[in-house]
Structure 1
Amino acid sequence: MIFTVDARNHGDSPHTPEHSSAHMAVDSIELMRKQGMAKACVMGHSMGGRTMMHLALKHPELIDRAIIVDISPIALPRDFHTMENIFKAMANVDIPAKHSLGQGRKIAQEQIKEAVGDQSTVEFILMNLKKRDNGEFYWIPNIDSLYKNLRLFNDFFEHIKDLPPFKGPVMFICGNKSNFVDPKSWPQIQQMFPEAELHWLDAGHLVHFEQPEKFINLVVHFLKR
């Protein structure tokens, strides 16, 4: 059985003022409890990847194996802080209600593309723009909470550095055009995940979007072992 989960403050999940890897790890445990799962294989990209690393390190008895997509437990790239500018740009998007959703997304694209930079990331963000019956445009994620708590992700390593290593199988899938995982940090990552393996795909941060076939093949092979 496969569950694709909207993290808190994303998708159809509740909006909350709290937002951290620790909170979302607890959310995952609660989902497992409600579904009667004693153990699970977990996968997460970026923020979700840190949630799954936190879960595996804090509650290894619940995790069979983990797949971590283009994120490191140690540090974040300097340009991660451009996320602050992206959230600000999203919050400031102004689209008159008279426009259709398609037109609204084009307007939003013009308003945020300077802050975002990468076109594929712009398109990814615009998937989260919706329109209510009254014509109002809105973002599905809780932009205010995500922006407010963004800095907590800088402190991730401080919250997990004293936890025992997770000794189960772990696969990191990273983009060689992304800088979210520094190859030089791999020995340090292996201290926390001694059974980890690392795969690089020809992609940026959105590895699973840019190389879907290779990504799926890696995941399926890893889960079938």
Structure 2
Amino acid sequence: MLLNYQYDQVTTTSDASPTLVLIHGLFGSLSNLGMIARVFQGKFNILQIDVRNHGHSAHSEEMNYLLMASDVLETLDHLNIQQFIVIGHSMGGKIAMKLADLAQDRLEKVVILDMAPFAYKQNHHDQIFKALLAVEDAQIESRKDATEIMRQYLNEEMVIQFLLKSWNKGKWLFNVRTLYKDYPNILGWDQQRTNAVPILFIKGGNSPYLSKPEHFEAIDKQFSNHQIQVVEHAGHWLHAEKPTEVNELITDFIEAL
């Protein structure tokens, strides 16, 4: 699947400039990692994408990491991008790790924001799905009505406003039904063969996604050339909560010889 994308190239010597591929998480869109993209504009070609069933990319009844990573590679091939660096948050981090398995020879480096190569069992999104489906079933058109319905299920105004970024003309841009059906695939993970691509894991100090011994064991087994850094006092959305610290860690890792 060719994905919807935004591709900003360095205006001079763009053929020689590395490409950063930025991949958002569940319920997101290509603008979600914009605070990272802005830091590297002018030094790197920047490719931001909507993964399948999100943003303005096509909808599909299938959702798994092999398909999502293959979509990214198809889009890169369409743009004639061979070598690249990938940065992924949450679900986008798992897509990035799958890319390391599928295209090890094309990947220069990988940065994972608050995610492990691990099959999670806890459902963190049950209330979000209830809210999204309630809005969809109500067949309303106004943003105000959508907000009022969501407040019956969600207490965090920041989460509601984040989700509403994907509300357009009375419809969700993401494919709610497929995301709900294939949510076990999104939580899940098939252990990969050991990979030597240089990879940096950045963990939010307050986040549960990269916190247990089994999370770190999974990293050790699957990535032989990894680093782990912690951003203290940050949660799962660490790049939005602590952008300076996160961007410094990414910069140091990417620009190191």
TM above 0.5: yes
Residue by residue, what CA displacement relative to the aligned partner does 1:82-125 show, whole Å, maximum 9, x if unpaired?
4233123212114744x4x4xx2xx4334224544444322211
2:189 is equivalent to residue 153 of structure 1: no
2:54 is equivalent to residue 10 of structure 1: yes
Residue 159 of structure 2 aligns to which amino acid in structure 1?
Answer: T
State whether residues 77 and 180 of structure 1, in contact with CA within 8 Å, keep that contact through their aligned partners in structure 2: no
- Bigger fraction of residues in helix: 1
Distance 2:205 2:153 in 1: 23
2:84 is equivalent to residue 20 of structure 1: no
2:159 is equivalent to residue 109 of structure 1: no
Choose the corresponding residue for 1:140, options 160, 173, 181.
173
- Using the aligned pairs only, state the percent identity: 27
1:18/1:95 CA distance change after superposition, 3 Å: closer
Unaligned runs of 5+ in 1: 132-136
Choose the corresponding residue for 1:121, options 127, 134, 159.
159
Choose the corresponding residue for 2:204, options 166, 172, 175.
175
Residue 254 of structure 2 aligns to which amino acid in structure 1?
Answer: L
Residue 208 of structure 1 is matched in structure 2 by 239
1:116/1:180 CA distance change after superposition, 3 Å: farther
The count of aligned residue pairs is 208
State whether residues 71 and 174 of structure 1, in contact with CA within 8 Å, keep that contact through their aligned partners in structure 2: yes
Structure 1 residue 205: deviation in Å? 1.3
Residue by residue, what CA displacement relative to the aligned partner does 1:13-72 show, whole Å, maximum 9, x if unpaired?
111111111101101111121122222101111111111101102331121110111111
Choose the corresponding residue for 1:192, options 203, 222, 229.
222
What secondary structure sits across from 1:4 in the alignment?
Answer: strand
Residue 14 of structure 2 is matched in structure 1 by none
Superposition RMSD in Å: 2.0
Choose the corresponding residue for 1:86, options 120, 128, 136.
128
Distance 2:217 2:133 in 1: 39
What secondary structure sits across from 1:213 in the alignment?
Answer: helix
Distance 1:118 1:68 in 2: 25
Residue 240 of structure 2 aligns to which amino acid in structure 1?
Answer: F
What secondary structure sits across from 1:8 in the alignment?
Answer: coil
State whether residues 140 and 146 of structure 2, in contact with CA within 8 Å, keep that contact through their aligned partners in structure 1: no
Distance 1:118 1:77 in 2: 23
Distance 2:74 2:160 in 1: 33
Normalising by structure 1, we get a TM-score of 0.84
Structure 1 residue 77: deviation in Å? 5.6
